């Protein structure tokens, strides 16, 4: 039997630029994640919706300051080529009323962001609108909306405030860092550690080193981000889109990570197996623009140097998962 060679049609369909132009990477972001609305939110919490609405209307012409998710959104949108179908789309999702949307879009226009679409729900949960927009990644400051987005099939994370000690990095690059287990990968190995202990976990990972792990909540987003990375690879195999893995795993549990990424066709530009060490200095050295982790401890530790997103997971925030072996 003669095996047919891949057709030209198949080769073209696999081109990441064409694929993303027909189905772009879609980022949904709340107004509080894009802009600094902490003062306004305190008014909402302390004095209620009427005082909040009055404050927003009174400040309608005052440009909002940049929030935790602003830089990564700005850098992703800068990858698009003017006049052609975009690789990346950003949709603004807000529980504000449509009347209060003017300040957000005036600020977007002021900063020159190519954000043209959004939903304003007057207090209704945003979770139903995440699948309606086909969102790949949803960023918010609200736990309920993040969990709703996860239920709707999107990768989602809760951001805090903008970092105060971030590293200046070259324009034109986007650096995204991920934790491994229960974020990029499934939580199966975490469960073995939790139920059977470290020795059982290490034995399992050594025995299954060549077996790819299941996709975790950010697995699909990683695949799409990896396609964007491929669009911008140069002859030296360096891309404007850099992907880093920063995980508490270390040797010998590292091998399964590398082999899984290889099997998925989603290589990382950097991998850091930190064991019991803090992730924050590593993330600062990377110059990451955003970092995703399922453990509150690591998110809080990283938040001073990078926009850090907490990924909802099954773990007790006070119990470390997969420490150094």
Q: What distance in Å separates the CA atoms of residue 169 and residue 49, rounded to the nearest whole number? A: 39
**Omega before 252 within 30 of 0, i.e. cis:** yes
Given a cut of 50, is residue 4 above it in pLDDT? no
Res 48 pLDDT > 80:
no
Residue 279 is classified by DSSP as S
- Number of neighbouring beta carbons within 10 Å of residue 287: 18
pLDDT attached to residue 38: 76
Nearest-angstrom CA–CA distance, 155 and 127: 12
Higher pLDDT, 111 or 50: 111
Q: How far apart are CA 200 and CA 208, in angstroms?
A: 12
Residue 9 scores a pLDDT above 70: no
Q: 3-class DSSP state for residue 313?
A: coil
Higher-confidence residue of 89 and 46: namely 89
Percentage of residues in the chain having pLDDT higher than 90: 65
Confidence of residue 101 (pLDDT cuts 50, 70, 90): confident
Give yes or no for residue 166 having a pLDDT over 90.
Answer: no
Asked if the model's pLDDT at residue 1 lies above 60, the reply is no
Helices (H), 168-218: 188-196, 198-207
Cβ(32)–Cβ(56) below 8 Å: no
- In the chain, DSSP assigns E strands to 25-30, 35-36, 65-66, 88-94, 117-120, 137-140, 155-159, 174-178, 241-247, 270-273, 290-293, 308-310
User: So what's the pLDDT on residue 315?
Assistant: 60
Instruction: State the chain's maximal CA–CA distance in angstroms.
Output: 76
Active site positions, annotated: 179
- Confidence (pLDDT) at 76: 98
Q: Where is average pLDDT lowest: 1-5, 162-166, 248-252? A: 1-5
């Amino acid at each position: 039997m003669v095996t047919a060679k891949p057709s030209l049609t198949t080769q073209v369909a696999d081109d990441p630029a064409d694929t993303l132009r027909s189905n772009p990477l879609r980022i949904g972001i709340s107004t509080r994640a894009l802009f600094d609305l902490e003062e306004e939110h305190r008014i909402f919490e302390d004095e209620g919706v009427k005082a909040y609405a009055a404050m927003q209307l009174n400040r309608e012409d005052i440009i909002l300051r940049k929030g935790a998710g602003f830089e990564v959104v700005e850098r992703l949108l800068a990858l698009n080529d003017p006049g052609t179908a975009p690789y990346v789309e950003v949709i603004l999702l807000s529980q504000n009323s449509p009347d209060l949307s003017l300040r957000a879009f005036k600020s977007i226009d002021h900063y020159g962001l190519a954000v043209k679409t959004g939903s304003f729900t007057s207090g209704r949960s945003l979770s139903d609108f995440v699948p309606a927009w086909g969102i790949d990644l949803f960023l918010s400051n609200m736990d309920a909306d993040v969990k709703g987005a996860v239920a709707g099939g999107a990768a989602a994370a809760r951001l805090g405030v903008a970092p105060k000690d971030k590293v200046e990095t070259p324009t034109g690059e986007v650096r995204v860092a991920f934790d491994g287990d229960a974020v990029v990968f499934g939580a199966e190995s975490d469960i073995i550690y939790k139920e059977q202990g470290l020795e059982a976990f290490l034995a399992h990972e050594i025995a299954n080193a060549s077996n790819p792990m299941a996709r975790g909540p950010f697995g699909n987003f990683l695949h799409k981000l990896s396609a964007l990375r491929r669009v911008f690879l140069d002859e030296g195999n360096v891309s404007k889109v850099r992907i880093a893995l920063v995980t508490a795993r270390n040797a010998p549990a590292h091998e399964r990570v590398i082999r899984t990424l290889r099997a998925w066709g989603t290589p990382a530009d950097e991998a850091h197996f930190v064991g019991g060490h803090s992730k924050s200095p590593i993330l600062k050295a990377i110059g990451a623009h955003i970092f995703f982790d399922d453990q509150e401890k690591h998110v809080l530790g990283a938040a001073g140097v990078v926009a850090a997103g907490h990924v909802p997971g099954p773990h007790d925030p006070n119990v470390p998962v997969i420490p150094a072996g």
